[in-house]
A = this chain, B = another copy of it.
C-alpha cells in the first residue's frame, strides 16, 4: 500500500504536476483563490487571508499582522535598520500622544493631519484638560525635543529614526495598503546647513530605492512630488513610486526636505560657525507595512503569494516524498547544510500529501521548493522548483547545493525584477493629449508620461480620468513635447501620472 502510493506520487509528480496535484492540493485546502485577472481586489484579499499574512480584527479599519506577515516586516526592518545605522542614524522612541497645542504649531501640517486623527479625551475616569491625538506622524514631537537639546552647531546633525505604529482615521481601508493603524519607521534629522539637509533627503530616498530594487525585486520610479501632492509642512517631497500588476500605482516611500518650516515655529535655533543664531534645516522620511501590499501585487499569481528570495522569512521548503528513512535523512541533511549557510530552510514532513504541501507552500510564497523522493535518491539527485516561474530543475547531489540555491535565488531575484520592469514598461504610456490619457487608462491602466506646465488647474484636470493624480516629477526627465498636455502652454516638467492606492 505504501509503495503503491509512493509510485503513484512519483508518476503524478512527473506527468500531472500542474494539472492534478496543484488542483488537488487546492481542493483539499478548500482555498481556491480568485484569479487576479478576474477580480484583482478579491484576489488580493484572498492572498492576504489565505497566505496568513494578516487577519481582520474586531477594531474597524485595523488589521492583525499574523506571524507570516509580521516576519516579512521584520526582514524589511533588518535591511533598513542596518542601513540607517551604517549611515549614522540612531533609534529613539517618542510618545504615542501629541497634545493638541503641539500639533497646531505648524499650520500646513495641522491642516493636513487634523481631519484624520484619533483623539484621546479621557484618561481613567477623568476628562483630560487638553485632548491628545494619537500620533499620525511625529514631526511635532521630534521638533519639540530638538528645540530642547540643540544649542550649537556642535550638537548637529541629529540623525534620529523611530520604529512604531501611527494612526490615521481613514474612511475606506484595505489590508496593508490603507489601515487606521499601521507600522512604519519615521526618520527625523536636523542639520546645520540647507545643503546637508537636502543631501540627507536624497540619500534616504536612495536607501528606499535600494530596498525596493535589490531586496523586494520591485522596480521603482524616483522623483519629486508636485506642490499639491507634497507632505503637509514640507518644502518638497521626494518619492518612490511603484506600479502594481493591475496598473495602479503605489507611493511606496517618501523623503521630505522640511527646510526651516518646522524649526521656525518650534524655535529650534543653534549658534552657527559664525556665532550667529540660526534655525536648523530638517528632513523626515518614512516607509510602512504597505510595502507588504506591494510585494503581493507586484509578484503574486493565481496560486498565491510569491516572495522575493532576499526578503522571504523562509526561503526554501524541503518536501520528502514518502516516509522512507533514507529520504527523510537526506532531507534533514540538506536542511541542516542550508541553514548552516544562512539560507532559511525547513522540512515539511507532515502527514499531508505532497500535492497538498506543494499548493500550501506556493500559497505562502516560499521561493524555492526542494523535492526528494526514493527515485531521486536512487538516481543521486533532487528536484528544485522555483516559485516564480514553476521551473523545475534536476540537481545531482554531488554538486555544491548551497551554491546552487544561492545562485538560483540570485537569478530568481533578477528574473522577478525584470518581469515586473517589463510589465511596467508595457503599461507606461507617452500621451500628448487628454484623450489619449483617457483611452489608455480605459483599456489597460498604468503610468502616463506627459508634459505639464506646473499649474494646479492642469494637474487637477487628471482627476476626472478615474481619479488620476500626478505620481511624481521623475528625476529622469524626457523632453516629450514643449507644451503642457492640458492647457497647451509652455511645459515645465515631464510628470508621471497614475491611479493610486
> What B residues does A118 contact at CB under 8 A?
97, 120, 122-123, 132
A65 at interface by CB-CB < 8 Å: yes
Once A55-B145, A122-B118, A145-B55 are accepted as A-B contacts, the answer to whether A97 and B62 lie under 8 Å apart by CB is yes
A43 at interface by CB-CB < 8 Å: no
Within the complex, which residue of B55, B145, B181 is in contact with A64, where a contact is CB–CB below 8 Å? B145
Once A59-B132, A96-B165, A132-B59 are accepted as A-B contacts, the answer to whether A91 and B71 lie under 8 Å apart by CB is yes
Q: Can you name the residue of chain B whose Cβ is closest to the Cβ of A68?
A: B90
Q: Can you name the residue of chain B whose Cβ is closest to the Cβ of A182?
A: B93
> What B residues does A98 contact at CB under 8 A?
59
> What B residues does A134 contact at CB under 8 A?
96, 120, 134
Once A58-B144, A144-B58, A181-B95 are accepted as A-B contacts, the answer to whether A119 and B116 lie under 8 Å apart by CB is no
A124 B115 Cβ-Cβ under 8 A: yes
Interface set, chain A 16-67, CB cutoff 8 A to B:
55, 57-59, 62-67
B124 A57 Cβ-Cβ under 8 A: no
Question: Distance in Å from the Cβ of A232 to the closest Cβ of chain B?
Answer: 15
Contact with B along A79-98 (1 / 0, CB 8 A): 00000000000111111111
A99 at interface by CB-CB < 8 Å: yes
A62 B181 Cβ-Cβ under 8 A: no
In the complex the two chains form, what is the Cα distance from A120 to B124 in whole Å?
11
> What B residues does A202 contact at CB under 8 A?
none
Once A141-B57, A144-B58 are accepted as A-B contacts, the answer to whether A64 and B91 lie under 8 Å apart by CB is no
Once A91-B67, A91-B70, A93-B65 are accepted as A-B contacts, the answer to whether A57 and B122 lie under 8 Å apart by CB is no
A95 B169 Cβ-Cβ under 8 A: no
Within the complex, which residue of B57, B66, B164 is in contact with A144, where a contact is CB–CB below 8 Å? B57
In the complex the two chains form, what is the Cα distance from A183 to B164 in whole Å?
10
Once A70-B91, A91-B67, A92-B67 are accepted as A-B contacts, the answer to whether A58 and B99 lie under 8 Å apart by CB is yes
Once A115-B124, A124-B116, A160-B67 are accepted as A-B contacts, the answer to whether A62 and B95 lie under 8 Å apart by CB is yes
> What B residues does A177 contact at CB under 8 A?
none
In the complex the two chains form, what is the Cα distance from A101 to B56 in whole Å?
17
Identify the interface centre among A99, A116, A121: most chain B CB within 10 Å of its CB. Answer: A121
Within the complex, which residue of B64, B71, B145 is in contact with A90, where a contact is CB–CB below 8 Å? B71
Question: Distance in Å from the Cβ of A332 to the closest Cβ of chain B?
Answer: 18
In the complex the two chains form, what is the Cα distance from A488 to B333 in whole Å?
65
A440 at interface by CB-CB < 8 Å: no
In the complex the two chains form, what is the Cα distance from A460 to B428 in whole Å?
74
> What B residues does A92 contact at CB under 8 A?
64-67, 70
In the complex the two chains form, what is the Cα distance from A117 to B144 in whole Å?
26
A391 at interface by CB-CB < 8 Å: no
Identify the interface centre among A64, A71, A98, A181: most chain B CB within 10 Å of its CB. Answer: A64
Q: Can you name the residue of chain B whose Cβ is closest to the Cβ of A101?
A: B58
A125 at interface by CB-CB < 8 Å: yes
In the complex the two chains form, what is the Cα distance from A62 to B98 in whole Å?
11
A273 at interface by CB-CB < 8 Å: no
A383 at interface by CB-CB < 8 Å: no
> What B residues does A229 contact at CB under 8 A?
none
> What B residues does A124 contact at CB under 8 A?
115-117, 169
> What B residues does A93 contact at CB under 8 A?
64-65, 70, 73, 165, 183
In the complex the two chains form, what is the Cα distance from A116 to B123 in whole Å?
7
In the complex the two chains form, what is the Cα distance from A167 to B165 in whole Å?
14
A57 B94 Cβ-Cβ under 8 A: yes
A102 at interface by CB-CB < 8 Å: yes
Interface set, chain A 112-156, CB cutoff 8 A to B:
115-125, 131-132, 134, 141, 144-145, 148-149
> What B residues does A144 contact at CB under 8 A?
57-58
A123 B57 Cβ-Cβ under 8 A: no
> What B residues does A120 contact at CB under 8 A?
118-121, 134
Known: A115-B124, A119-B121. 16 other contacts (CB 8 A): A55-B148, A57-B95, A57-B145, A58-B141, A59-B97, A59-B141, A64-B95, A73-B93, A96-B96, A96-B181, A97-B118, A97-B181, A117-B124, A118-B123, A120-B121, A121-B122
A-B contact pairs, 20 of them (CB 8 A): A55-B149, A57-B95, A57-B141, A58-B144, A59-B141, A62-B97, A65-B92, A66-B92, A67-B90, A67-B160, A70-B92, A71-B90, A74-B91, A95-B181, A96-B134, A96-B181, A117-B124, A119-B121, A119-B122, A119-B123
